[in-house]
């Protein structure tokens, strides 16, 4: 339908053509009129402004001659080139805007992980292989969930999540990870990242709370707690995991990835787990246990989760379906001590109240009907093959230069560099040869910057892992020590 412009134009009694042309041109340049937008018809604009149609025709013709609009048959005049939609460069930018909280004055919008073009050898971390996901089964369950949702769509749902999904999650983690919980202990979240944000809001007193994190570790977790005003302190690792003796005595929150340390890959030893729980009990601290890819274990019996061993209500167990299913699902959960559930619910209500109901009900059916367990079993075999193929390829082609770090689980492996070459330089060299790898040191913030590489298992099949290892070996050969 032909509509007048959404913003006002000030047309004086004299010089109407010049005023109309100048204001339309300015609207195009500053982005109020966007590229591809159809201008009102000459009759509609003339009527809304109280000017003659000939004046509007003349203004449009001037814009046409200047290249700001084009004339399309059946569509009228269409904006050909619009300027930026943000304030002009002459105005203060976000980096110097005093109205923003200082932390966010230098913020940039993060690029999505799929913003980069496909690479021949994509070994980035955090990307599961979704090509084997049973999307047809998911589509049918989603349609069933939508049909049965009914009146629930007319009102806000429970902040802690759909009852059927919480029951399904409780059964899943009890069976696969021996986590002791019921549906009443579970808060469904928008992925693990929202879980971290909620926990930061209820556990941090701005400017006072000390939060100990693994170093190297998971940057988005650090960011969530820093944004809440915590004093985040990096704690080093050894072959057994987080070094408990190095945790600051005044730490009141401790974040760990004990099943598969991110990004180094080791599992926290039983002795270290006991020491960490003892520290939390003595100091009155809480532990945030992130079990982000614990379903994928390739050797031996999985070690008990910290939540399973906890006897003092100290552990918040965080899980996600981004790695086991697909990242765009954006569903995760927190298994929380009973004393924290009311606070979590109150904060969740302020944030977004609850996650998408159809997605929750679909996931509940997916788990209850056994699809999740079957998919995880299938992908565990596939990832195990890729892991073995990559480790074998690295050993045969680059064994002198790389030492893989111990790891029996997860969707990535890490390797330390034996040769005197910076991992960041190898990342650049690999990118030039259509290979994406990551530097281990990019995840570190403390004094010790580990020099190594991290390889994801979700991007290429097992049959091409040896090929990728040979390419990496050729890149490394340039830096062979004499």
User: What CATH number has the domain bearing residue 408?
Assistant: 3.90.1150.10
Domain match, 174 and 250 both: yes
203 and 263 fall within a common domain: yes
Q: Structural domain of residue 380, as residue ranges?
A: 121-127+374-477
Can you give the pLDDT at residue 173?
94
Within this chain, do residues 360 and 410 fall inside the same structural domain, yes or no?
no
pLDDT of residue 122: 94
Q: What pLDDT was estimated at residue 71? A: 84
- pTM for the model: 0.80
Together in a domain, 402 and 275: no
In a domain, 268, yes or no: yes
Within the chain, which residues score under 50 in pLDDT? 1, 85-95
3-state DSSP assignment of residue 403: strand
Question: Which residue among 370, 405, 428 closes a domain?
Answer: 370
Q: Which residues, other chains included, contact 452 with Cβ-Cβ below 8 Å and sequence gap of 6+?
A: 402, 405, 414, 415, 416, 417, 423, 439, 440, 441
If DSSP codes are grouped into helix, strand and coil, which group holds residue 426? Answer: helix
CATH number at residue 38: 1.10.10.10
What's the pLDDT score for residue 313? Answer: 95
Quick check: 314 and 278 in contact, CB under 8 A?
Answer: no
In a domain, 235, yes or no: yes
Are 276 and 349 in a shared domain? Answer: yes
**Is 161 domain-assigned?**
yes
Output Rg (C-alpha) for the chain, integer angstroms.
28
Say what the pLDDT of residue 82 is. Answer: 63
Nearest Cα neighbor of 240 from 216, 263, 271 is 271
Instruction: Please say whether the beta carbons of 52 and 20 come within 8 A.
Output: no
Q: What integer pLDDT is reported at residue 231 of this predicted model? A: 96
Q: How far apart are CA 279 and CA 254, in angstroms?
A: 10
Q: Which of 343, 370, 397 is the last residue of a domain?
A: 370
Question: C-alpha angle 14/7/67, rounded to 5°?
Answer: 75
Which pLDDT belongs to residue 482?
A: 77
- Return the pLDDT at 84: 55
Q: How far apart are CA 221 and CA 344, in angstroms?
A: 17
CA distance 324 to 473: 31
Residue 3 covered by a domain: no
Task: State the DSSP code for 313.
Answer: S
**What pLDDT, on a 0 to 100 scale, did the predictor assign at position 431?**
93
Q: Is 100 part of a structural domain of the chain? A: no
> Same domain, yes or no, for 62 and 186?
no
Overall number of domains in the chain: 3
Same domain, 343 and 382: no
pLDDT of residue 106: 80
Whether 2 is in a domain gets the answer: no
């Amino acid at each position: 339908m032909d509509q007048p412009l959404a913003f006002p134009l000030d047309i004086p009694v004299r010089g109407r053509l010049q005023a109309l042309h100048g204001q339309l041109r300015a609207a195009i340049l500053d982005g109020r009129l966007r590229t591809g937008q159809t201008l009102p018809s000459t009759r509609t604009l003339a009527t809304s402004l109280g000017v003659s149609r000939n004046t509007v025709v003349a203004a449009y013709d001037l814009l046409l001659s200047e290249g700001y609009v084009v004339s399309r048959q059946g569509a009228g005049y269409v904006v050909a080139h619009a300027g930026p939609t943000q304030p002009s460069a002459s105005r203060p930018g976000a980096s110097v805007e005093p109205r923003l909280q200082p932390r966010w004055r230098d913020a940039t919008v993060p690029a999505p992980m799929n913003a980069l073009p496909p690479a021949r050898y994509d070994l980035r971390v955090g990307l599961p292989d979704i090509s084997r996901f049973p999307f047809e089964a998911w589509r049918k369950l989603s349609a069933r969930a939508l049909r049965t949702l009914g009146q629930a769509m007319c009102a806000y749902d429970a902040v802690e999540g759909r009852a059927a999904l919480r029951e399904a999650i409780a059964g899943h983690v009890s069976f696969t990870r021996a986590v002791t919980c019921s549906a009443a202990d579970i808060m469904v979240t928008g992925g693990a990242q929202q879980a971290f944000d909620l926990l930061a809001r209820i556990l941090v007193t701005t400017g006072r709370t000390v939060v100990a994190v693994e170093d190297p570790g998971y940057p988005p977790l650090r960011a969530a707690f820093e944004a809440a005003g915590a004093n985040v302190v990096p704690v080093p690792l050894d072959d057994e995991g987080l070094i408990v003796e190095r945790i600051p005595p005044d730490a009141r929150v401790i974040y760990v990835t004990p099943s598969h340390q991110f990004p180094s890959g080791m599992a926290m030893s039983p002795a270290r787990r006991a020491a960490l729980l003892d520290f939390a009990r003595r100091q009155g601290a809480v532990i945030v246990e992130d079990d982000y890819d614990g379903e994928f274990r390739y050797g031996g019996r999985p070690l008990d989760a910290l939540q399973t061993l906890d006897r003092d209500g100290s552990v918040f167990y965080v899980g996600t379906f981004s790695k086991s299913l697909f990242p765009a699902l954006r569903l995760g959960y927190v298994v929380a001590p009973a004393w924290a559930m009311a606070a979590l619910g109150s904060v969740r209500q302020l944030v977004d109240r609850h996650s998408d109901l159809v997605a929750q009900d679909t996931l509940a059916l997916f788990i209850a009907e056994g699809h999740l367990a079957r998919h995880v079993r299938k992908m565990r075999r596939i990832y195990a093959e890729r892991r073995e193929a990559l480790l074998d390829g690295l050993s045969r082609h680059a064994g002198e230069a790389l030492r893989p770090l111990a790891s029996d689980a997860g969707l990535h492996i890490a390797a330390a560099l034996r040769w005197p070459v910076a991992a960041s330089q190898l990342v650049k060299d690999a990118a030039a040869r259509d290979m994406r790898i990551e530097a281990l040191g990019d995840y570190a913030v403390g004094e010790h910057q580990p020099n190594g590489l991290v390889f994801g298992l979700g991007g290429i099949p097992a049959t091409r892992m040896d090929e990728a290892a040979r390419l990496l070996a050729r890149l490394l050969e340039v830096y062979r020590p004499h």
